[in-house]
Structure 1
Amino acid sequence: MRDNGGLRVSLDLARRWQDLGARVRFLVLENVEPGGVPVLAPDPRLDTRWGSAQVRRFRDAAPRIVAATVRHARRADVVVSGSEVGYGVLIGWAAARLTGTPFVLLVQSSLPQAVAAWTPARLRPLLTAVHRRVDAAICVSPGLVDDVREVGLPAERIHAVDLGLDVEAVLARTAAAGGPVRSSSGRLRLVAAGRLAEQKGFDVLLDALARVVAGGGDVELVLVGSGPLEADLRAQADRLGIADRVEFAGHVADAQPLIAGADLFVLSSRYEGLGLVVLEALVHGRPVVATDCPTGPRYVLRDGEFGDLVPTEDPQALAEAVLAFVRDPEPLRRKAAGGPARARDFDRAGAALASAKVLAELIG
């Protein structure tokens, strides 16, 4: 699994399809992060199967995983890949073709960026060939449709759903956890969340934070998440002289209290499929500054109506947006006041129903 956020989306859709009356089997091909940390614990509400009986790296269990995928595909009416990249797509597509089962791709990120970031160069042509041959692609936001069309998949096989959040459930979980976690230092608290990987642009964010501090901004940053770049980001914070302003919160079971307690939520990504963390910030009415990256933030924030947008790869622009908030937070707070209502425009139950109809049509 390449992204915990993408895994959560796939799991939620699987549960909702099951609630709609489908028989769902959730097959996990790889369940370990670097360092041996399991990504997913068994979910008693879902028929979860493992490609390998033990938690291990993919390369150590590949033969068993391939055999298990073919076996499960033979018993399925449709095979859905929860990611658009990785060995799982190739194995799932091959198993579906071998068994004559329709194969569906859930597209959660911009295809060109995701393929370049997560796929070895030798496999990219093969992966692109699979992308143009799937029976259907379900995009989690309309902005992803053009990417899928450009790889050569016929337009009639491409579908878009507005993936969202269960707003009431998010608010209830936050309340049950004790409510928002706010700064105790007296500084304005910036919160960013995501895997500590190249996609999320946290290196740009740290550079911007140093500029904010140099410009007189009395701020701190909480980075929520874990990932392969943590050591590099810690070293960067040290070099920039802002280590005392940055808290690496690591992986947390539920980031909602931290997001709800932010004075300002910042998204610094280089690309996103939708940007669910931006929606989570809107649920809590938090001011947002986000990079105008492909493809989700501009769509979620409705061209800047509900938060500020800045160019990608531009730490100075990001710093200026944060400093503007520090000096006068009211304009962005007024935008954030409409955030909860905007978040409700994205209905996860509706997305599950729309995607389930696509699967039902394939099954016939």
Structure 2
Amino acid sequence: MAAPGPRVLVVEGALRDNGGLRVSADLARRWQDLGARVRFLVLEDVAPDGPMFTPSEELDLRWGSDRVRRFRSSAPRILVNTLRQVRRADVVVSGSEVGYGLLIGWLAARIARKPFVVLVQSSLPRAVAAWTPARLRPLLTQVHQRVDAAICVSPGLVADVREVGVAPERIHSVDVGIDVAGTVEKVARTGGPVRSASGRTRIVSAGRLADQKGFDVLLDAVARVVSAGGDVELVLVGAGELDADLRARADLLGIADRVDFAGHVDDLQNRLAGADLFVLSSRYEGNGSLVLLEALAHGTPVIATDCPTGPRYVLRDGEIGDLVPVEDPAALADAVLAFLADPGPLRRKASGGPARAWDFDQGAAAVASARVLADLVR
């Protein structure tokens, strides 16, 4: 009889539906399939400012606090409950490189003398600046320097982790991605691709409506395309703090009738599969954006900003899709207009998208990261 796998505790702050949380939850489920005994600890049972993520029922979900109140008043209870869960684990994993989940998970792991791992899903300097109050940034850096292992979801993130001061032998890189087969099969199961009913060339983009995603630049580019005579429409999937600002910008640019702010949807894969063009306009990413990989899996033509730290790597220096400079609406508009004038070249690039997506299939990433955890336990 095989020995039981390591007891892994994955720590997250709250169930805010975002790419990072989906990655950590999916890896946790796959580690469980590989024999690990996994618990998924969420610090706060609060309604997030946006869609809530629902982990797989296969995961053993626990709460740091099931009382909805301000974090400051809940922190002692959360720390006690986290420490209780950490003592039962062999290794502790923070699903994010920032946030209270990282800080409390690290503190509890140190008290209990358990190995602590951080899953780095975004550029450390940018993530810290965007999501961490200034008073906590020095503390966060000290925690990063003291992790037992940092698992980067893309090779492009390794340099950032080294610069923080993590020893090279503690840094690992895996190509975290998507369930390619499941992504493609979902479209067939749920009615097929969703295509434009207007006859216009449909551009789809998706992500949290936040500064990182560069949707303001995308709107500016679409306005330039329309002004140049391009018959396009934009479907913007996602929710976030910039929703009102982006709607106002579209109205100011005179393209409100060309932009569908779809919000959070259940049929994203159908929309990606039915799009004429997918655009990634981000200022920075972690592994090149999961939705970029999903678009590639469907064979959808792609234009992406050459932002740190992943689209160039994912698109093989422009072999699988077109790359444009960051923060450059004119260059993005020119790329879209070139596609409208002759879609053939980009569609030929897109024909290699499904095979490229398989290079990032999540199964391989789960095996590689599980090996890191097992080595720490041994």
Band of TM-score, shorter chain: over 0.9
**What's 1:330 paired with?**
344
**What's 1:285 paired with?**
299
**What's 1:294 paired with?**
308
TM-score of the superposition, structure 2-length normalised?
0.93
Q: Distance in 1 between matches of 2:77 and 2:240?
A: 27
Q: Distance in 1 between matches of 2:73 and 2:194?
A: 41
Kindly provide the CA deviation profile for residues 298-356 of structure 1, in whole angstroms up to 9, marking residues without a partner as x: 00000000000011111111111111111111110010011111111112111101100
Check whether the contact 2:151–2:173 (CA below 8 A) recurs between aligned residues: yes
Check whether the contact 2:235–2:261 (CA below 8 A) recurs between aligned residues: yes
Once the two structures are TM-superposed, the CA of residue 58 in structure 1 deviates from its matched residue by 3.7
What is the SS of the residue equivalent to 2:247? helix
**What's 2:219 paired with?**
206
Pick aligned residue for 2:333 from 319, 335, 338: 319
Check whether the contact 1:190–1:220 (CA below 8 A) recurs between aligned residues: yes
Once the two structures are TM-superposed, the CA of residue 62 in structure 1 deviates from its matched residue by 2.5
Task: Report 1:136-215 matches (<5 A).
Answer: 136-215=149-228
**What's 1:216 paired with?**
229
**What's 1:134 paired with?**
147
Q: Distance in 1 between matches of 2:209 and 2:303?
A: 19
**What's 1:257 paired with?**
270
Aligned length: 363
**What's 2:23 paired with?**
9
Check whether the contact 2:44–2:66 (CA below 8 A) recurs between aligned residues: no
State the one-letter code of the partner of 1:152. Answer: G
Q: Distance in 1 between matches of 2:145 and 2:339?
A: 44
**What's 1:355 paired with?**
369
Q: Distance in 2 between matches of 1:81 and 1:334?
A: 40
Q: Distance in 1 between matches of 2:224 and 2:84?
A: 55
Check whether the contact 1:26–1:49 (CA below 8 A) recurs between aligned residues: yes
What is the SS of the residue equivalent to 1:233? helix
What is the SS of the residue equivalent to 1:105? strand
Indicate the percent of aligned positions where both proteins have the same amino acid: 75
Q: Distance in 1 between matches of 2:260 and 2:55?
A: 30
Task: Report 1:83-122 matches (<5 A).
Answer: 83-122=96-135
**What's 1:230 paired with?**
243
Check whether the contact 2:177–2:362 (CA below 8 A) recurs between aligned residues: yes
Q: Are 2:27 and 1:27 aligned?
A: no
Q: Which runs of 5+ in 1 are unaligned?
A: none
Q: Distance in 2 between matches of 1:326 and 1:237?
A: 21
What is the SS of the residue equivalent to 1:303? helix
Q: Distance in 1 between matches of 2:51 and 2:302?
A: 31
Q: Distance in 1 between matches of 2:99 and 2:272?
A: 30
RMSD value over aligned CA atoms? 1.5
What is the SS of the residue equivalent to 1:189? strand
Q: Are 2:358 and 1:344 aligned?
A: yes
